[in-house]
Amino acid sequence: MSSLSFLTHAQFLTITPRGIHTTDLTLYPLFGDSALRPIAQVGQVRSGQTALLELDPSLLPGEFAIRYDYRANASDAPYPSEQYVIIGRQGLRILLNPVYTGKSDSVSLLDDGGENEAWQTFLADNAIRRAPVERMRQWLDEEPASRKAYYRQFVKEYTRRRQAYLDWLEGRKVAHADMLASRLMSFSGIPAPAAAGESRATQAVRHLSVLNLQDSLLLHTRFFAQYLDGFVQAGLQQLASPASADSVILSLTAGLLEAASVASPRVYGAVTDYLYLQFLRSGIDAGMELLARHLVRPACQSRNKEAITRKLAAMGKVQVGLSAIDVEIPLAGKAPARLSQLTEGRPMSLLLFWSAGCSHCLELVDRLSRYTQQQEIGRQLQVIAVSVDRSEADRSKWSAMTPGLLQWRHAQCPEGPSSEAARAFGVLATPTMFLIDGSFHIRGIPQSMDELIQILAS
């Protein structure tokens, strides 16, 4: 491979490794739908050669991770290392020793418009300036409000230091206003202290006030979703009891949506999409109804409008206690069969929608397989495992795995979540389980293996 380091067009990243025998390169975005999924790969790059990785311009500028699976010597097994970088619209050229990705004297980042240097300099300065203010804020959060002189003086001093820090932060953001680095800096802002008795909506506005919600480049950072997480988690820490978690989450997220409704359409849509995933993972169906009220607004550019609409349509039909939907199941290597035929005469059947390319699915399948191998459980419960794998790579993994799951009935839906079976049950993410009893009624919709075992034991 000849050197291509002169190519610094925005659509390309060039990497020249040094000090090793060979390395494989994999590029991952840290944001958006493709977060932590490989978008470009080059294998067997020798020391001194230059690899060219093509990028989608719509992802630039953005934060990325680069994985190096390097061999120091020809006979060595590959060893991994990782590097986080900002790639601006002008592209990036990297010269480095993959063994020492964390050492500045072993890494050169070129043609990036100063993005990475600005960000690294900020991180070093910010660690010193923010820490004392953060400690004071933590003390105020833990200390009951008081009219005593020491408390009033502490609040006064905290207010002064917080403002001084925010003035410094604003100066850094203005100095780098044309860079993605300035958007990363925004997430270090410290919201104003909470007022007594303020509503969830006011809390959300206060939390998001440190961000410029009209700037859609915020979505090109790994911090946007983390910042929303921080708001929800802080609210949950104030719970009086775990039983109220769902209602508190709904209240918190309603506040986030209202605060985001004045944001740019992309940011508003991104908040909606973030909450959609949270509701899916936690099984809070009422959250889908909340999202639906925002999806009808033209300013909400959600990427999941169709999926949320499908979920809402299925929610009225797929509920515990109702009859299961008698959809056709495309059995692997056999003629399709109705779900009612497959469950007939069985005390319990678990309809599992899964993907061999989903790490959570693999964990569940491993545990569920061992569980159903128990003789007593095997007599009581059959598993109907429906694959919604779409890529050739994931289907190959599925083909390799199914021989080890002989006690299950297997089906494959090449259309993925768009298949008739998945749409009928409102399946939008994997793994998703439905427990069906001998009378063809839905006994439970477990969100985890532990919940499945609990339902079966009840």
What confidence score (pLDDT) does residue 392 get? Answer: 86
In a domain, 453, yes or no: yes
DSSP 8-state secondary structure symbol assigned to residue 194: P
Residues 342 and 426 in one domain: yes
d(CA 115, CA 440): 59
pLDDT in tens, 328-349: 999 998 999 999 999 999 999 9
Q: Which of 315, 346, 364 is the last residue of a domain?
A: 315
Q: What is the mean pLDDT of the chain?
A: 90
CA dihedral 306, 309, 314, 320 (to 10 degrees): 120
Residues 265 and 350 in one domain: no
Domain that holds residue 398: 328-457
In a domain, 38, yes or no: yes
C-alpha separations of 385 from 294, 406, 420, 437, 446 in Å: 35, 11, 15, 16, 15
Residue 4 confidence (pLDDT) above 70: no
Contact 434, 283 (CB under 8 A): no
DSSP 8-state secondary structure symbol assigned to residue 331: B
Determine whether 280 is exposed, middle or buried from the number of CB atoms within 10 Å of its CB (0-12, 13-18, 19+). buried
What confidence score (pLDDT) does residue 397 get? Answer: 92
Residues 269 and 356 in one domain: no
Residues 345 and 423 in one domain: yes
Q: Which of 66, 90, 111 is the last residue of a domain?
A: 111
Report the relative pairing of strands 432-437 and 442-444 from DSSP bridges: antiparallel
Residues 391 and 451 in one domain: yes
Q: Pick the most confident of 287-291, 307-311, 450-454.
A: 450-454
Nearest partner of 318 among 426, 414, 235, judged by Cα: 426
Q: How many domains does the chain have?
A: 4
In a domain, 308, yes or no: yes
In a domain, 202, yes or no: no
pLDDT in tens, 148-176: 999 999 999 999 999 999 999 999 999 99
In a domain, 60, yes or no: yes
Residue 290 confidence (pLDDT) above 90: no
Q: Which of 52, 80, 111 is the last residue of a domain?
A: 111
Lookup: tokens for 69: 């699976």
Q: What is the pTM (predicted TM-score) of this model?
A: 0.72
pLDDT in tens, 32-90: 888 888 999 999 999 999 999 989 999 999 999 999 999 999 999 999 999 999 999 88
